[in-house]
Chains A and B, each alone.
Chain A
Amino acid sequence: MKLLTHIIPATIVTAAFIFSGCDSKREPGKVYMPDMAYSRAYESYAKRDSVKFTMDMFKKGGDMIFFNNLPPAGTIKRGELFPYTLPNDSNGYKMSSMVKNPYDSIVITKAQMAEAGRLFNVNCAICHGATGVANGPIASGGYVGGVANLTADAYVKMADGTMFHSITYGKGLMGPYSSQVTRAQRWMIVKYIRTLQPNKDSTSSAATKDTTAKKI
């Protein structure tokens, strides 16, 4: 009987210890070999695990994570268009109408236009609507007012460069999209918007549906 009186409490204590260790879904859990699971090398969005990575020893927080590390100013990605140099002010806005769309001189393929349409549907259609008449879910839901109807006369007349300027720096309540779409993609989106507008020959088919959009 002595065996029982010792074994039972010991089992209960062990079981409680084991289960208390693994019940929480708020904890990431354990791994076999942390140095194999967690990268010692630079990894996006990982915390720098050592002070030697921090540029500034006195800076807390922000500099410990790889969020805001922009490449040096003037860096151009391979295959990317040259930087857009007009400043984000009223003069730059006025001058932007003189900037030519680099795709004016290139024959745009059907696939390129479909890709531009896909990008439009991902990034712009939430407010401007898939047809550009300002009926996207955010605009028609009454969350954001003053969404531009891209098929309106003012936008049909607007120069490609001005549209590009507004996408790059934002306009009014619209935020800047330079971090979300590249310069080439922005120019192509402008081309796609032209196909949505009236009085222009629509050469492309409607954009293919975004494949990663949610399934309903």
Chain B
Amino acid sequence: MNVDSLSVSCLIFAHGTAIFYKKTRLNCMICYKKFISRFLVCLLLIGFISNNSAFAQGEALFKANCANCHKPNQDYTGPALAGARKREPSPEWVYKWVANPAAMIATDPYAKTLFEKWKPTVMTAFPQLKKADIDAILDYVDNYKEPTAPSGTPAGATSESPDNNSLLFGILTLILAIVAFILLQVNSNLRKLSDDKEGVLRGEPVPFYRNKTYLMAAVLLLFGLGGYTTITAAYGLGRMKNYQPVQPIYYSHKVHAGTNQISCLYCHGGTQDSKSGSIPSVNVCMNCHMAIKEYKGEAITREDGTSVNGTAEIQKLYAYAGWNPEKKEYNPDNNKDGMPDGAHPIEWIKIHNLPDHVYFNHSQHVKVGKQNCQTCHGNIQEMPEVYQFSDLSMGWCINCHRESKVDFYNSADSTGNKFYSIYEKFHEQMKDSIVDKNGRKIPNPHKMDSVTVEKIGGTECQKCHY
């Protein structure tokens, strides 16, 4: 682009001089004026080109040095840089500041107010930036224009209708039953008519509600249905599948673990070491939310259609943490309880609750068994509000223990878990070949491909009930 505009300006210049020579004889004065004006246009163009390259240089410098903490028109970790020259006390101030901010904070009043406003972060010193570099950066941010955002289509909530097959089949069955009932009634009436015609003597047909066959069928049906409902309800008692309580803060796992790819173990790190899958304390939330004050992601809507104000939910977190977002510091601990004043724990509602007579250890499954969180908890990273994915019944546990393969240590590629090395018999059986009595290598006659959890005692009662 620069080369193009340069050549254009040269062309105009050449054109101007050509015209000058052509018209010299006719009217010198007019030509001279024209020449001057064209020369000025050239100068302007050249100026524009050099200015443009300074802009590009400023952009490069800004991105390399400043963009980590500053944005041109928005406050970020540090203040927005556009218009910085108008704010600062003297034109020379910024050069000293960039070279050594720490010294300036100690001496200069304006630097001190800046520090007070943006603490705890302190501006990094950039002694390598020359005055010209700083000027280029400030020119860049003053002339910076927001790139026009591509008009994104609003993320429409695709409401998936659940599979209504059972309902459909139920309605079909009902319709067929009514049709059969009507046909039977029609049949009996027709028989009555034909009997009357042929003179066969017959009693009045019994109405259907006194018909013993119908009554028997109805009783059987009710008995079957009642029994089925009773048994399923009895099974369901104590199981809380799909339990989705309203939590004190609308915390979306979809936003955190899905969109922002935070590992489950970042917050639930205790899962690797302890029996319970640990709930993070508020300081873990504050690791990121000291800096993230507002929610700017996709709009969140609850299932009933009301929208969630993410920024308000973050404010709730600040109240729990005793954090003052304006001052960017925790409240002072005046009542000496070891926490900032006003801070109190978030009473998250426990969703997954195994009965007290079952022992379940998270670290055993996550660390030793190397199970994914999603195996039991479902696709948490896609749940805006967490619900209980599995029914946590004993049948469900046993089923998984029968199917899951144990990750035995493989000395060939040193993968797997040495924890299971005590199961020597299984290790022998998994080998391709064994050494027989005569010391020869023969193919293993009892070759096992894998060992399930059941084989190492995973379905013994006292493993979990004791």
A residues in contact (CB < 8 Å) with B: 4, 22, 25-32, 36-41, 43-46, 61-62, 65, 67-68, 121-123, 126, 134, 137-138, 141, 143-147, 149, 172-177, 179-181, 210-215
Contact = CB atoms under 8 A, between A and B. Distances in A.
A65 B345 contact: yes
Given A67-B281, A126-B262, A143-B288, 7 more contacts: A25-B387, A122-B263, A126-B288, A144-B77, A175-B290, A214-B263, A215-B374
A29 B240 contact: yes
Contacts of A121: 263
From B209, B244, B345, residue with most partner A Cβ within 10 Å: B345
Contacts of B169: none
Nearest to A210: B263
Contact of A30 (B69, B237, B338): B237
B374 A180 contact: no
A45 B276 contact: yes
Contacts of A46: 350
A32 B380 CA distance: 29
B284 A179 contact: yes
A173 B120 contact: yes
B239 A29 contact: yes
A122 B273 CA distance: 15
B245 interface: yes
B374 A143 contact: no
15 contacts: A28-B245, A30-B237, A31-B237, A31-B355, A44-B274, A44-B276, A45-B276, A62-B344, A122-B266, A126-B262, A126-B266, A144-B292, A145-B291, A146-B68, A211-B370
B154 to A, nearest CB: 20
B275 to A, nearest CB: 8
Contacts of B263: 121-122, 126, 210, 212-214
Contacts of B243: 25, 27-29
Interface of B: 68-71, 76-78, 120-122, 209, 233, 236-240, 242-246, 257-258, 260-266, 269, 271, 274-276, 278-279, 281, 283-284, 286-288, 290-292, 338-339, 344-345, 347-348, 350, 353, 355-357, 366, 370-374, 380-381, 387
From B244, B269, B348, residue with most partner A Cβ within 10 Å: B269
Leading 7 A-B pairs by shortest Cβ distance: A175-B287, A145-B77, A67-B345, A146-B77, A31-B238, A146-B69, A37-B355
B387 A176 contact: no
B238 A123 contact: no
B283 A179 contact: yes
Nearest to B292: A143
Contacts of A41: 356
Nearest to B122: A172
B237 A68 contact: no
